[in-house]
Amino acid sequence: MKKVFLSFSLSLLLPLLAQAVSAQQIEVDASMPSYKPTGANLTGELNIVGAVAMKKAIEIWTQEFNKLYPNIHFHLNLRGSSTAAAPLVTGISQIAPMGRELWDCELVQFKHTWGYLPLRVEVSRGSYNVSQRSQILAVYVNKDNPIEKLTLAQVDAIFSKSRLRGYKERVETWGQLGLAGDLAQQPIHPYSLSDDSTGVAEWFRSRVLLNGKFRDAVDDVPSPQELMKRLSEDRSAIGFTGISYLGPNIKVVPIAEDDAGPFSSGSLADVLSGKYPLTRFMYVYLKQPPDQAMDPVIKEFLTYVLSKQGQEAQAKQGELLPLPADVVRQERVQLEKFK
């Protein structure tokens, strides 16, 4: 991808934010399993190193868990997802919270050291529209672009040279997507964000491109604000970033997994129902040998996190969205495999 560095007015330095949706307004699914204390006198120390995006959630989880088990001591170092992998590999931390999935290079390093991959557990959805909190992503175009909707395969064909979703051809002009008039023969100008510790471009590459490669024609810009500026000036441009950055003269393109739909612009209702395909999740990674029992303190702590009480506690912090009940049950099944 090519790098693009632009200057722009102070008025465009800050995104036009919709009023942030507070997670504490979201009711946790009533069918979610409740947490039942074991009654055991659990003791121990846990070092948790990783994502600052999960700071509030981790703090409230550990505080509430300590009310039940006061002899467990937590040591928190939550500065960013980029700080999580190395302490997990070296054994300094037992739990690595992440606002993204571990990158391939991080997984390779872990497996080279331990001979197996780390265990990944989904513990929360990202935020709806809170910046720097793994908010949902959106695909954006200029407001005067008449495109009405796109499937993930079409988005993949616009951005990727690999086309792993199987679209019939590389999409280079708007006419290939059915647009007529003066835009039909106009080349599409795709934009991505420069790779950084938030992992937005890498997540998009994994989720939408199925780990394919970006086309050489995709230009990198260093910030969402610059992306908004480019899209506002160019009817042929398309790009992606967090939903909170929607600015003047820009619109969100409704997206669907496939032609059958449903197509969604990323409303809160669609995110909560699972209809919106660009919703992000939060994880913890563990150094868990596949053939050994899980540390009982870690297992009990994550069982609490994956409960109605745990999801309600973090939702009240007003940043991250709770998991759906079916995902909670699925992740609990994964924990129960390590007896």
Q: d(Cα 77, Cα 259) in Å, to the nearest integer?
A: 44
CB neighbourhood size of 138 (10 A): 25
Question: For 30-78, what is each residue's pLDDT tens digit?
Answer: 899 999 999 888 999 999 999 998 999 999 999 999 999 999 999 999 9
What's the mean pLDDT in 130-135? 80
Q: Cβ–Cβ contacts within 10 Å for residue 25, how many? A: 10
pLDDT of residue 307: 98
Mean pLDDT of 249-254: 96
Radius of gyration over alpha carbons of the chain, in Å? 21
Mean pLDDT of 205-221: 94
Report, as an integer, the average pLDDT of 239-253: 93
> What single-letter amino acid sits at 180?
A
Q: Check residue 25 and give its pLDDT.
A: 65
Q: Give yes or no for residue 24 having a pLDDT over 80.
A: no
pLDDT in tens, 252-290: 999 999 999 999 999 999 998 889 999 999 999 999 999
Mean pLDDT over residues 180-185, rounded?
A: 92
3-state DSSP helix/strand/coil percent for the chain, to nearest 5?
A: 35, 20, 45
Residue 328 confidence class, pLDDT cut points 50, 70, 90: very high
Query: Half-sphere exposure of 202 toward its Cβ, with a 13 Å CA cutoff?
Result: 13
What lies within 8 Å, CB to CB, of 112 at 6+ separation is none
Q: What is the mean pLDDT of residues 282-305?
A: 97
Report residue 14's pLDDT band, with 50, 70 and 90 as the boundaries: very low
Instruction: Identify the pLDDT of residue 2.
Output: 52
What integer pLDDT is reported at residue 121 of this predicted model? 98
- Give the three-class secondary structure for 55: helix
Average pLDDT score over the chain: 90
Is residue 314 predicted with pLDDT exceeding 50? Answer: yes
Mean pLDDT of 183-191: 95
Is residue 104 within 8 A of residue 205, CB to CB? The reply is no
pLDDT value for 234: 96
pLDDT at 194: 85
DSSP H helices in 147-291: 152-159, 200-207, 224-233, 268-273
With vertex at residue 70, the alpha carbon angle to CA 65 and CA 73, rounded to the nearest 5 degrees, is 85
Domains of the chain: 2-19+136-273 (3.40.190.10), 31-128+281-336 (3.40.190.10)
Q: At what angle do helices 55-68 and 296-305 cross, to 10 degrees?
A: 110
pLDDT value for 17: 37
Largest pairwise CA distance in the chain: 72
User: What average pLDDT score do residues 84-110 get?
Assistant: 93
